[in-house]
Amino acid sequence: MQGNGEHHANDERLPATARAAGCASPFDRAAWFGLLEAYGFAGRGRLDARGSAGATSAWLPLRREAPGNLTGLTNWYSFGIRPLFDGDADQEAALHALFAGLRKRAARLTLYPVADPDALAAALRAAGWWVKETRAGDRHWLDLGEMDHDAWWASRPGALRNTVQRKAKKGVVDIQLLTDFDPGSWAAYEQIYAASWKPEEGHPELLRAFAEAEGLGGRLRMGLARIDGIPVAAQYWTVEDGTAFIHKLAHVEDSLKASPGTLLSAALFRHVIEVDGVKRVDFGTGNDGYKRDWMNRHDPLWRIEAFNPSRVAAWGPALKAFARSLLRKDS
């Protein structure tokens, strides 16, 4: 397998033309990684690893952790990390070159969350890394296939459908859907989140900047639910390449009897299916029970740990990691 592994200084960055294989995601764009760096998530420094094969380049945005340790440039808002490609030919060779070249720079590499680990793990092993894959989380998503909105809704649990029907008939909850960023609506979302059961928002400034950018790109889908004019539930979605991504949802605790969050979800699902024509809805990371009511697919997420056998510093951590796996299998 031919290719050249290349690693660039901070002034040589992931190009805007780089794309992941498969459906596009907001977490694959150069702008997303730029936001993470701008808001302090690059650890000891950002490194955009690159490998090339012919006219194709593979890219992987990383951050430096402890000396010799690299990890995927992600944070708790990220749905996943995967390689990006500039060019369509020889992508496998370019990825091999990336990981082969990275062995000159690191003793250890960690990638999380990874939805499809097989190709990544195979490329790492082919490039000479010791690789350990660990199940580490869950993702729920909706595959509509040939279903329209009504067919999908008929497939949902009866208790959910009955709740939406009964609460909607009462007319207590007013629903507003937005496709542009509105500062007043975002302030209402932040107010609702602060009054909800959710833990304190990890980095609200980053989330707002992300929402503003998605609004400018025409991808924002936001919903607010009000009772007597007071905002009581909010959700932040985006739509891209046939997929709707559910980023944030919150409701005020004392509004639960009116089910504003459930009614808001139903309205947003209808909008993205009927108006935007999506074929997938991605509920992100986490195994919250309520997600099963809306989704029809469930997959594990994975953590990939790769150890460089040419670095003595990797031997101890690798031994511990693989020993833990053996102990779990024996228990």
- 36 and 158 housed in the same domain: no
Instruction: For residues 255 and 252, give the distance between their C-alpha atoms in angstroms, rounded to a whole number.
Output: 6
**pLDDT in tens for each of the 331 residues of the chain?**
445 554 443 346 899 999 999 899 999 999 999 999 999 999 999 999 999 999 999 999 999 999 999 999 999 999 999 999 999 999 999 999 999 999 999 999 999 999 999 999 999 999 999 999 999 999 999 999 999 999 999 999 999 999 999 999 999 999 999 999 999 999 999 999 998 877 788 899 999 999 999 999 999 999 999 999 999 999 999 999 999 999 999 999 877 789 999 999 999 999 999 999 999 999 999 988 899 999 999 999 999 999 999 998 989 889 988 887 665 554 4
Domain, as residue range, for 235: 146-278
- Residue 290 included in any domain: no
- 193 and 268 housed in the same domain: yes
Instruction: For residues 65 and 71, give the distance between their C-alpha atoms in angstroms, rounded to a whole number.
Output: 7
- Residue 241 included in any domain: yes
Please give the backbone phi and psi of residue 93, each rounded to the nearest 5 degrees, phi first: -65, -40
Q: Give the burial string for 78-113 (b: 16+ CB within 10 Å, else e).
A: bbbbbbbbbbeebbbbbbbbbbbbbbebbbbbbbbb
The pLDDT value given to residue 72 = 98
Residues paired with 299 in a beta bridge? 139
- 273 and 154 housed in the same domain: yes
- Residue 182 included in any domain: yes
If you search the block for the tokens 């990874």, which residue do you land on? 114
Cβ(291)–Cβ(103) below 8 Å: no
- 187 and 258 housed in the same domain: yes
* Residue 219 three-state SS: coil
The pLDDT value given to residue 200 = 80
End-to-end CA distance of the chain: 40
If you search the block for the tokens 């559910």, which residue do you land on? 246
- Residue 20 included in any domain: yes
Query: Residue 20 is part of a domain; what is its CATH number?
Result: 3.40.630
Q: DSSP character for 80?
A: -
- 167 and 119 housed in the same domain: no
Instruction: For residues 109 and 305, give the distance between their C-alpha atoms in angstroms, rounded to a whole number.
Output: 6
Cβ(321)–Cβ(132) below 8 Å: yes
- Residue 287 included in any domain: no
Q: Where are the beta strands (DSSP E) in 147-296?
A: 173-178, 220-227, 230-240, 243-251, 280-285
The pLDDT value given to residue 3 = 54
328: amino acid identity, one letter: R
- Residue 285 included in any domain: no
If you search the block for the tokens 């929402």, which residue do you land on? 211
For 126, residues 6+ apart whose C-beta sits below 8 A from its C-beta are: 1, 96, 99
Q: Distance of CA 300 to CAs 25, 80, 133, 256, Å?
A: 18, 12, 12, 30
- 203 and 265 housed in the same domain: yes
- 70 and 93 housed in the same domain: yes
- Residue 312 included in any domain: yes
- 9 and 120 housed in the same domain: yes
- 157 and 270 housed in the same domain: yes
The pLDDT value given to residue 201 = 80
- 80 and 186 housed in the same domain: no
For 99, residues 6+ apart whose C-beta sits below 8 A from its C-beta are: 5, 51, 123, 124, 126, 127, 129, 306
- Residue 284 included in any domain: no
- 89 and 180 housed in the same domain: no
Count of the separate structural domains present in the chain: 2
Best CA proximity match to 255, nearest among 176, 174, 161, 157: 174
Best CA proximity match to 92, nearest among 49, 123, 70: 123
CA angle 92, 95, 100 (to 5 degrees): 125
The pLDDT value given to residue 328 = 57
- 183 and 271 housed in the same domain: yes
Query: Residue 200 is part of a domain; what is its CATH number?
Result: 3.40.630.30
The pLDDT value given to residue 329 = 56
Best CA proximity match to 317, nearest among 84, 43, 108, 77: 108
3-state secondary structure 166-179: HHHHHCCEEEEEEC
